[in-house]
């Protein structure tokens, strides 16, 4: 069984390593100090189980579990945390077990045994159930076996391109499989629809202007080109600009 440990405290990671050293048939394939690094490392190293803390910087363990549930095959997630109040949210995020620190060897063995018994179809079911459990702070782009997590704060605009959405962000462009409709429903307070195929970050919108051809366009703070605005979206955008 391949194990990935994710905890921002080095001593906590070392304790788990020490406990795992006494368990037959396990191999620690990596350690991560935050949820985002754990997701990216899991894509590269394909662990069977991720031992995941909840309170971590960059991305917490609950959101990391949601991203991990989208991997194929999805690893089993076992939360290891000092806080018992997160138990319900942890199971909603698709966890197979929830261990309180300091983690005891017996409970860790039980959690690993449970993860080993779960068939891939059961893990997939847990992952699907986790889909609406928590609002994301990152978008997830997957390409040829790699994962890139894009902070929402860095997204400039989102544009539909056939069956994908192109995320234009501070570090470039990436394709994601979410639909514009689902993104608008999830992040309607952060993004504004300017066209049937485009959402822009509300804090990026500077002004609306009209070109010589009569086409209304949006100017964004961090994007050099102007973006087309549809007639249908124009009245709502004008009202939004008054509120910004």
CB 115 within 8 A of CB 48: yes
User: Any bridge partners for residue 218, and if so which?
Assistant: 208, 227
CB 120 within 8 A of CB 48: no
Q: Provide the CATH number for the domain around residue 38.
A: 3.40.50.2300
Of the residues 129, 157, 180, the one at which a domain ends: 129
The lowest-confidence range among 42-51, 129-138, 183-192, 230-239 is 129-138
**pLDDT (tens digit, 9 = 90+) per residue, 89-105?**
777 777 889 999 999 99
108 & 144 share domain: no
| Higher pLDDT among residues 105 and 212, named by residue | 105
> Which helix (H) or strand (E) segment is 173 a member of?
strand 172-176
144 & 231 share domain: yes
97 & 160 share domain: no
Of 61, 60, 56, 46, which Cα lies nearest the Cα of 94? 61
150 & 114 share domain: no
166 & 112 share domain: no
77 & 53 share domain: yes
Q: What is the pLDDT of residue 145?
A: 67
Of the residues 75, 97, 129, the one at which a domain ends: 129
**pLDDT (tens digit, 9 = 90+) per residue, 57-73?**
999 999 999 899 888 88
What is the token pair recorded at 8? Answer: 């921002």
Q: Provide the CATH number for the domain around residue 168.
A: 2.40.50.1020
Of the residues 129, 152, 186, the one at which a domain ends: 129
Triad 93, 188, 52: Cα angle to 5°: 20
9 & 120 share domain: yes
**pLDDT (tens digit, 9 = 90+) per residue, 39-49?**
999 999 999 99
10: containing domain = 2-129
Q: How far, in Å, CA of 182 to CA of 176, rounded? A: 12
Q: For the residues 211-219, what does the mean pLDDT come to?
A: 91
Please give the DSSP secondary-structure letter assigned to residue 8. S
Confidence of residue 194 (pLDDT cuts 50, 70, 90): very high
55 & 125 share domain: yes
34 & 111 share domain: yes
103 & 143 share domain: no
CB 150 within 8 A of CB 141: yes
Answering whether pTM is above 0.85, one says: no
72 & 168 share domain: no
Confidence of residue 106 (pLDDT cuts 50, 70, 90): very high
Residue 158 has pLDDT above 90, yes or no: yes
User: What's the domain count of the chain?
Assistant: 2
Alpha helix stretches (DSSP H) within 70-208: 87-92, 105-117, 120-129, 180-186
114 & 142 share domain: no
């Amino acid at each position: 069984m391949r194990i990935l440990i994710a905890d921002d405290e080095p001593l906590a990671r070392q304790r788990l390593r020490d406990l795992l050293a006494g368990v037959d048939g396990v191999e620690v394939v990596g350690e991560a100090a935050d949820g985002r690094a754990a997701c990216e490392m899991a894509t590269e190293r394909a662990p069977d189980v991720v031992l995941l803390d909840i309170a971590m910087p960059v991305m917490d363990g609950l959101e990391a579990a949601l991203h991990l549930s989208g991997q194929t095959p999805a690893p089993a997630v076992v939360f290891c945390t000092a806080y018992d109040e997160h138990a319900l949210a942890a199971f909603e995020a698709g966890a197979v077990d929830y261990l309180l620190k300091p983690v005891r060897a017996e409970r860790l063995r039980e959690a690993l045994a449970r993860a080993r018994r779960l068939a891939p179809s059961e893990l997939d079911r847990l992952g699907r159930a986790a889909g609406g459990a928590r609002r994301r702070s990152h978008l997830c782009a997957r390409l040829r076996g790699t994962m890139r997590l894009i902070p929402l704060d860095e997204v400039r605009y989102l544009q539909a391109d056939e069956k994908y959405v192109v995320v234009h962000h501070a570090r470039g462009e990436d394709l994601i499989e979410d639909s514009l409709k689902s993104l608008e429903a999830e992040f309607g307070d952060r993004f504004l629809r300017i066209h049937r195929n485009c959402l822009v970050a509300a804090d990026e919108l500077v002004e609306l202007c009209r070109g010589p051809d009569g086409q209304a366009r949006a100017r964004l703070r961090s994007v050099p080109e102007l973006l087309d605005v549809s007639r249908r979206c124009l009245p709502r955008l004008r009202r939004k600009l008054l509120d910004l």
